[in-house]
Amino acid sequence: MSATDTVEKTMSPTHRRPKNRKRTPYSIFRTVMLVLIVAIFVGPLLWMLLSSFKTNVDIQNTSKAFIFEPILENYRAVIGDGGYLRFVFNSLWIAVGSTGLSLVIGVPAAYAMSRFSMQKSAMLVLMARIIPAISLLVPWFYVFANLGWVGSYGVMILSHMFILIPVSTYIMMSFFDSLPLELEEASLVDGLTPIGAFFRILLPLSVPGIATAGILSFIFSWNNFMFALVLTGRDTKTLPVAVFNFVSYASIDWGAIMAATVVMTLPIIVIALFLQKYIVSGLTAGATKG
Amino acid sequence: MAFVALLIGFPLGWTLYLSLTNAQGSVRSPFDFIGFENYGSVLADTDRFWPAAARTGVFTVGAVVLELIAGMGIALLLRRSFRGQKWVRVSILLPFVVTPVAVAMMWRLILEPNIGFANQFLGWFGIPAQPWLSSPETSLATLLLVDVWEFTPMVAIILLAGLTSLPDEPDEAARIDGASAWQRFWYVTLPLVRPVVIVAVVLRAIDALKTFDLLYVTKGQGGGSFNEAETLNIYVYGLNFQYNNFGVASAVLIIFFLMILAVMWLLTLRKKESDA
C-alpha cells in the first residue's frame, strides 16, 4: 500500500454505501457523537478567537462569555507597537529557508536510500526521529555558543534542518518506494543517465511527495519553540517565543496574547483547510505499510 | 551518508563526551574529565531525577493509552462515509497542527481557575470549580488531558488510514456468521489493523516522551514551584540552559536516551511478534 493510494482511499470512501439510508439508532448515535467530537476539538480554538476580540475586562467577566462588544484593540496593539510583524518575518524566513534546504538535501538522499536499499541509512533516519530534540540542542548549543553564532538566522535555519531533514527524507522515502522501478529502467534504456533519469523523470513525478514533505517541514519549523527559545536573539525571535514572552510581564494581557496566538496560528489553519490531503499523507507515510 | 553521521553521530558523541566531564558555567570555561561521576550523582538523585523520570513515564503511558482508545473510537466513527465527513476530518486536524505554544496559551486561559471557561462550563452542571494547572496535585493530570485533546486526532487519523485500507470481506463474513459488532471489532478488525496500531503507538510514545512546549509554557522552568510537572525533558533543559550545568545535563540526556531506546526496542519486539 503506497502513501498516495492511502490518501485517495482516505479521501473518497464514498463507494462503500448507498446514499439514502434509513435513520437507525446507530446513525443517530453517530451523528450526536460526531457533533460532540467537532465541538470538543474546535471549541477551544473558537474560544481563543472569541477572546481575541474581547477587552481584558470582558475576559475577566464570565457573564460575558458569548455576548460582548467585539473590539479590534488587541490586534492593533499586537501588530501596531509590538514589533510583531518583525517576528512574523523571522518565523517565515526561518521556516522557508530551512524547509527549502532540507528538501534539497532530503529528496536526493531519500531517493538514494529507496533505490539502492540502504537499510542502515534508513535506520539512522528513523533514529533521528526518535532522538529527543533536546539531545541535539544541548551539544549543538555548546558548539554554537563557542563560535558566537547564537542569535543569527543561520543558526536557526541550520538547527531546524536537523529536525526537518529526517522528516522529509522519511516521507520522500516512502513516496519513492511507491514509484515503480521500471520508470528508471525504461528511461535508462532510452538513453538517459541515472542522474538525468532522476531529474527528468522521477522529480516531476514526485511533486505530490515533495509538496507533502515541504508542507509538513514548514509546519514543524513554524511551530518550533524549544530551539527558538535558546538560539534566537532579540532581533531573530520567532513567533512562538514572542508569544511566550508576552507572559513574563507582571500582569497577563490575555486579550493581546490571544490576538497574537490567532495571528500565529492563522497560516497553519489555512494550510490545514486547503492542503489537508498532504498533511494526512505525510503523517501516514509508512504507517500503513506495516 | 555524511550528513546522517553529522546529524546524529556528532551530537551523540559530543554529549557522551561532555557527560564524562565537569563542564559548567560558561561554554568557554575549561573542564576536566571526571569519569562516571555525573552518572553516579544523577542515578542517586531521588529529589529531582527519579521523580521526573516517573512523571515522564506516567505522562507518556497515560497519553498513549487514552489517545489510543479515544482515537480508535473516532476512527471507527469516521470509517463509513457520510455527509460532511470532510469537515469533520479538517476540524480534527486542527488541534495537532496548530502551534503548540498557542495551544498551551489557549488552555492556560480556558483553565484559569477564576476567569476560565472550563470552570464556568462545569458550573452549569453543578460541578465545583477545579484548580487545574494552579495546584501541584492536579497539574500533571490536567496537562495529560490537554495532551489528549491535542493528539487524539493524530492517532485517529493514522488509525483511520489503516482502517480504510482494510478489505471489507472478513468483516462481512463475520457479520453473516452472526458476530456482534463488538466481536467483529475485537476478533476481526483489531487483529487486521494491529500493525497500524503499533505504528501509532510508537509515533505517539516518541512524541509524548519529548513533550516540552506544553509543559514549559504552562508551568515554566522546573515544571512549577514544586516541580509538579517536571519531566526529564524539562529537567535537562533547566540543568543545561538555566544552570549551565552542561556535564550533568549531558549525563541525564544519555540516560534518557537509553531509556527511550529500551522502550522502542520493546515495542519493535512486539511488532515483530505481530508480524510473524
The rounded distance, in Å, linking the Cα atoms of A191 and A209 is 26
Alpha-carbon torsion angle A113, A119, A125, A128, nearest 10? -170
The boundaries of the domain holding residue A59 are 3-289
What DSSP element (H or E) covers A180? Answer: none
Number of Cβ pairs < 8 A linking chain A and chain B: 243
Q: Is B83 exposed, middle or buried (0-12, 13-18, 19+ CB in 10 A)?
A: exposed
In the CATH hierarchy, which top-level class contains the domain B37-275?
mainly alpha
Residues 176-205 of A with CB under 8 A from B: none
When the pLDDT of each residue in chain A is averaged and rounded to a whole number, the result is 78
B253 vs A134: CB contact, 8 Å cut-off? Answer: yes
pLDDT value of position B38: 77
- On the question of pLDDT at A256 being above 50, the answer is yes
The rounded distance, in Å, linking the Cα atoms of A224 and A155 is 14
A257 touches chain B (CB under 8 A): yes
Measured in degrees and rounded to the nearest 5, phi and psi for residue B228 equal -65, -20
Please give, rounded to a whole number of angstroms, the shortest distance from the CA of A207 to a CA of chain B.
22
The rounded distance, in Å, linking the Cα atoms of A82 and A165 is 33
Q: What is the CATH number of the domain that holds A123?
A: 1.10.3720.10
The rounded distance, in Å, linking the Cα atoms of A279 and A208 is 11
Residues of B in contact with A41 (CB under 8 A): 91-92, 94-95, 149, 153
Q: Which residue has the higher pLDDT, B26 or A20?
A: B26
**Secondary structure (3-state) at B21:** strand
B237 touches chain A (CB under 8 A): yes
- Residue A120 — pLDDT band, cuts 50, 70, 90? low
- Residue A14 — pLDDT band, cuts 50, 70, 90? very low
A1 touches chain B (CB under 8 A): yes
B141 touches chain A (CB under 8 A): no
Residues of A in contact with B264 (CB under 8 A): 130
Residues of B in contact with A222 (CB under 8 A): 99
Residue A222, amino acid: W
A219 vs B10: CB contact, 8 Å cut-off? Answer: no
The rounded distance, in Å, linking the Cα atoms of B125 and A47 is 19
- pLDDT tens for each residue of A39-91: 889 888 988 888 888 877 777 776 766 777 777 777 887 777 667 788 888 88
Q: Which of A150, A286, A168, A142 is nearest to A220 (CA)?
A: A168
CA atoms within 13 A on the CB side of A285: 25
- On the question of pLDDT at A263 being above 80, the answer is yes
Please give, rounded to a whole number of angstroms, the shortest distance from the CA of A103 to a CA of chain B.
13
Number of compact structural domains in chain A: 1
Please give, rounded to a whole number of angstroms, the shortest distance from the CA of B106 to a CA of chain A.
6
**DSSP state letter for B69:** H
- Cell reading at A137: 540542542
Please give, rounded to a whole number of angstroms, the shortest distance from the CA of A269 to a CA of chain B.
7
CB-CB neighbours of A105 under 10 Å = 17
A265 vs B264: CB contact, 8 Å cut-off? Answer: no
pLDDT value of position A7: 43
Digit-by-digit pLDDT tens for chain B (276 residues) are 566 667 777 788 888 888 877 777 666 666 767 767 778 777 877 778 888 888 888 999 999 999 999 999 998 888 877 777 788 888 888 888 888 888 988 898 888 877 778 777 888 887 887 788 777 778 888 889 999 999 999 899 889 888 888 888 888 888 888 888 888 888 888 888 888 888 888 888 888 888 888 888 887 777 777 777 788 888 888 888 877 778 888 888 888 888 888 887 887 777 666 655
A134 vs B212: CB contact, 8 Å cut-off? Answer: yes
- Residue A9 — pLDDT band, cuts 50, 70, 90? very low
Q: Which of B110, B114, B98 is nearest to B218 (CA)?
A: B110
B149 touches chain A (CB under 8 A): yes
A45 vs B106: CB contact, 8 Å cut-off? Answer: yes
CA A228 to chain centroid? 16
